Every structure is written in C-alpha cells, then in structure tokens.
C-alpha cells in the first residue's frame, strides 16, 4: 500500500493529476453502494450519518470522478480508532488531517503507487452537526445557474493547477 504522507506535493500532483468528467448519473448509485458497505460495518459499532457531497453530488456539472463522502460521528475519541480500523479493512488509506478541526480524519480509496485504480473515494470525517458541505451541495443542486458558475471556476482551476 502506498504511503501518501511520504510523497512530496509535486509527486502527488504527478501521480494523481486533476481531471474533470461530464456528470455521470451512476455516481449516485456508486455512492449508495459504498454507503451501504460502510454503514454495515460502522453502524455495527456506533451511530453515524453518511452523505454524498462534493461535485459528483451536483447534478449536471463536470466533476473529478471521485465520490466524496461525509461521515458524521459522535464526538467520541474511542470512535476514532474504531473508524480507522474499520475503514482500513475496507481498503481505505487513512490520512490524518491535524490542520483540520477534530476529529481531523480523512480516508481515500483508489490511490496506488501506479496512480488511480478503479473508482476513487474520499471520506471526510466530521462530528455530528459540522456539515456545511451538505448545505453547499443542496444550494448548488437548487440553483443551476450558480452550479454552472461553480463548474466554470472548476474548469479554469483544473487547467491552471492540473498537478496541484
């Protein structure tokens, strides 16, 4: 398994460039399948809430084909270790995020030393109630003109920062 933390920013950018794809109606189903896998394992241990966020959850816009998942948990330090163990068993790579507010965790899947392999996922772990991403998703899905402006910004930034 690749240790993403040991790669430089430049190495990460070259190995995992930014690219956008047209909206894929199957992204929702891919999320639901992954949500079911995760919730079967995690809900066995404790209560959580799992939502589809990120650009693949915005209907009709170009997006990186990575399914972003928001995993909300209770503020319980024991949960943190359990989640790391559970998601590692589901082939996720744990990426500590000490610069983020607690629980300071992120997980990725589909990243290898050869680049992307298969479907990629990002899991963003937050405590219950810390979910601005859901409001953002819902706002864009309810305001198509704004979503298209957001898409334009994404296109421009992906050209400028393809490997960053």
pLDDT in tens, the chain (164 residues): 567 667 777 887 888 899 999 999 999 999 999 999 998 888 766 778 899 999 999 999 999 999 999 999 887 767 888 889 999 999 999 988 878 777 878 999 998 888 889 999 999 998 888 778 999 999 999 999 999 999 999 999 999 999 88
Residue 100 in tokens = 């983020």
Which pLDDT does position 104 carry in this prediction? 79
Determine the Cα–Cα distance for residues 41 and 32; give it in Å rounded to an integer.
14
- The backbone torsions φ and ψ at residue 106, rounded to the nearest 5 degrees and listed phi first, read -145, 150
Residue 53: beta bridge partners? 68
Residue 109 in tokens = 């899947």
Using the 8-state DSSP alphabet, how is residue 101 labeled? S
- The backbone torsions φ and ψ at residue 60, rounded to the nearest 5 degrees and listed phi first, read 90, 5
> CB atoms < 10 A from the CB of 90, how many?
16
pTM equals 0.90
Contact 67, 51 (CB under 8 A): no
Using the 8-state DSSP alphabet, how is residue 114 labeled? T
Determine the Cα–Cα distance for residues 50 and 69; give it in Å rounded to an integer.
7
Coil, strand, or helix at residue 47? coil
In this structure, the chain runs to a length of: 164
Which pLDDT does position 1 carry in this prediction? 57
* Peptide bond just before 159 cis, omega within 30 deg: no
Using the 8-state DSSP alphabet, how is residue 92 labeled? P
Using the 8-state DSSP alphabet, how is residue 90 labeled? T
């Amino acid at each position: 398994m690749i240790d993403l933390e040991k790669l430089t920013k430049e190495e990460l950018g070259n190995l995992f460039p930014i690219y956008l794809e047209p909206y894929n109606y199957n992204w929702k189903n891919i999320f639901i399948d992954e949500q079911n896998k995760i919730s079967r394992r995690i809900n066995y241990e404790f209560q959580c809430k799992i939502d589809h966020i990120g650009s693949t959850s915005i209907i009709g816009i170009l997006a990186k084909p990575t399914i972003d998942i928001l995993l909300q948990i209770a503020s319980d330090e024991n949960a943190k270790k359990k989640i790391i163990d559970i998601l590692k068993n589901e082939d996720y790579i744990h990426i500590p995020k000490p610069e983020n507010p607690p629980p300071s965790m992120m997980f990725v899947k589909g990243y290898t030393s050869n680049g992307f392999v298969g479907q990629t996922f990002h899991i963003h772990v937050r405590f219950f109630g810390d979910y601005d991403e859901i409001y953002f998703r819902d706002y864009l899905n309810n305001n198509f003109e704004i979503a298209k402006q957001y898409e334009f910004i994404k296109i421009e930034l992906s050209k400028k920062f393809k490997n960053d």
